[in-house]
Structure 1
């Protein structure tokens, strides 16, 4: 089996899309299709079921995938071991989340783009359990977590920082300027991102100790949630880093309330996995960035 065929197979299997795999690999879609057919011919088994415009792995494809990932991983380790140490190289698939991608990671991505151009980063936006499962399966090389827990089954992780949270509202909100209690909150219009986000779920759990089935007005993104809060639609608990600019400008105010739980931003990878040099570099530079910026 040729390594390039396994690389193409792994990308299609991860994305479950020939089109997206072709775009990420910078191949023509016909080339991806022909490579998958060549691999299927070499193995004597179909690797994907074609279901109209969708695809899924066959049983043979499911069995091949972990082997393909191990071979690719070993290949990249071997390449890094003999390459010039001053030229880190290799691909990294990183699970992240909106609050980090938009508000913390841009300086890190800029650093890798300019200083380490041979390290190819692919960011995947997922949260919570999705990220943990993808790390265990080997779909992601590294993943950012924002969790109260710091130990995760099947994963090794490093705590980067405590993630401060801020309860925010429009400047004219009735609770602005006064000490806020939990009973005050359950009577308010509450705004939130989607379920599955750790701080939203923990906030909801805390509110539910006083009232059954607290209702949230849900928004798809942090940006939309902030805009709704600034427009006076309600209050929202969000990572402080995501609302720092609005608080500084006065578009939002911070309410006098602190949650009982603490979130920690972490970087995780599959337990026991030996991280290649370019992955260790990413961990090191991430640690440095968080330490510098707080």
Structure 2
């Protein structure tokens, strides 16, 4: 049992495909098959069950080995970094994240790494919260940054970086724009604009609406954060968005923030695979993400 075999096993076990593991590791498929067989022979057990076609699935022994393989590979990476690693972080760090965070939270982080660690490439993979979590579990991203009301997620470790305030906004000429106070009942009389249903705060608003007596809040799917802002500014309804996404629009007068407090909270969170030690690059990203969010929250409070 060696590191090369464990690496091949971990990728094949994560992807459940020898051919995809071979493509990702830049091996011939016969090399992947040979390494897996060598590992099985050294352990005296079968790790994969071969199904019809090219599909495979882990045997009970394979499922037991996987977390140990991930820990051993992580320790090997640490050992390499401690003894013969490059003087500066390098390589590629793939980050799964959501549109709002990629657009409004991560630019200072990207700028910091671009100037401070030019040898490290940060690659963003935007998607919904569910897509970020799925990609992390599948091993196609290294770390995730998401916005969700839930702070525990199956199969991953999560760290809450802070609350992400939500705000309801309209165009300056909207009837609700001049009110000193707006209640949830007022939203039942106007279309509420929110990004597609996969986004957490839209789902929360739908749940809240159904839990109260009377007709549910009329919701219009606006697709993206930017289209939600444009529709709200045009008077098509009330936009429900993270405060960080509309701060400049409210300051410029293009949008008006309503005096309404959502009856739920969402949080920005850092998520990663469990039972694995973070790499130096992952630790640096986490540290900078925490610092940027804390600084932004202090500025907003001031």
- Which position in structure 1 is the counterpart of 2:250? 247
Q: What stretches of structure 2 of length at least 5 have no aligned partner?
A: 38-47, 298-302
Note if contact 2:74-2:276 (Cα within 8 Å) is conserved in structure 1.
no
Helix, strand or coil for the counterpart of 2:281?
helix
What secondary structure sits across from 1:227 in the alignment?
helix
Question: Of 258, 266, 279, which residue of structure 2 is paired with 1:276?
Answer: 279
- What whole-Å deviation, never above 9, does each CA across 1:26-84 have from its counterpart, x for those lacking one? xxxxx96x745654576689x9x99xxxxx96558xx79x6997786555434322245
Cα distance, 1:232 vs structure 2: 1.1
The change in CA–CA distance for 1:40 and 1:215 in structure 2 (over 3 A counts) is: farther
What does 1:153-232 align with in structure 2 at a 5 Å threshold? 153-178=154-179, 179-208=181-210, 209-211=212-214, 214-232=217-235
The higher radius of gyration belongs to 2
Residues 14-163 of structure 1: pairs in structure 2 closer than 5 A: 35-36=28-29, 39=32, 58-59=56-57, 73=74, 76-84=77-85, 86-163=87-164
Secondary structure of 1:274 counterpart: coil
Aligned counterparts of 1:78 and 1:90: Cα–Cα separation in 2: 17
Counterparts of 1:250 and 1:227, CA distance in 2: 13
Change over 3 Å in CA distance of 1:38–1:136 after alignment to 2: closer
Distance 1:40 1:272, change over 3 A: closer
Q: Distance in 2 between matches of 1:213 and 1:219?
A: 18
C-alpha deviation, 1:207, in angstroms: 2.0
Q: Deviations over 1:206-254 (max 9, x none)?
A: 2222345544221221111111111111111100111111111111101
TM-score, with normalisation over the residues of structure 2? Answer: 0.75
TM-score, structure 1 length as denominator? 0.77
Partners of 1:201 and 1:163 in 2: CA distance: 16
2:300 is matched with none
C-alpha contact (below 8 Å) 2:142/2:272 kept by paired residues: yes
Distance (Å, rounded) in 2 between the aligned partners of 1:290 and 1:78: 31
SS at structure 2 position matched to 1:124: strand
What is the CA–CA distance in structure 2 between the aligned matches of 1:117 and 1:79, rounded to whole Å? 21
Note the C-alpha offset of 1:185: 0.3
Residue pair 1:193, 1:222 contacting (<8 A) in 2 also: yes
**CA–CA separation in structure 1 for the residues paired with 2:100 and 2:245:** 6
User: Where in structure 1 are there 5+ consecutive unaligned residues?
Assistant: 26-30, 51-55
Distance 1:91 1:59, change over 3 A: same
Whether contact under 8 Å (1:69, 1:138) holds in the other structure is no
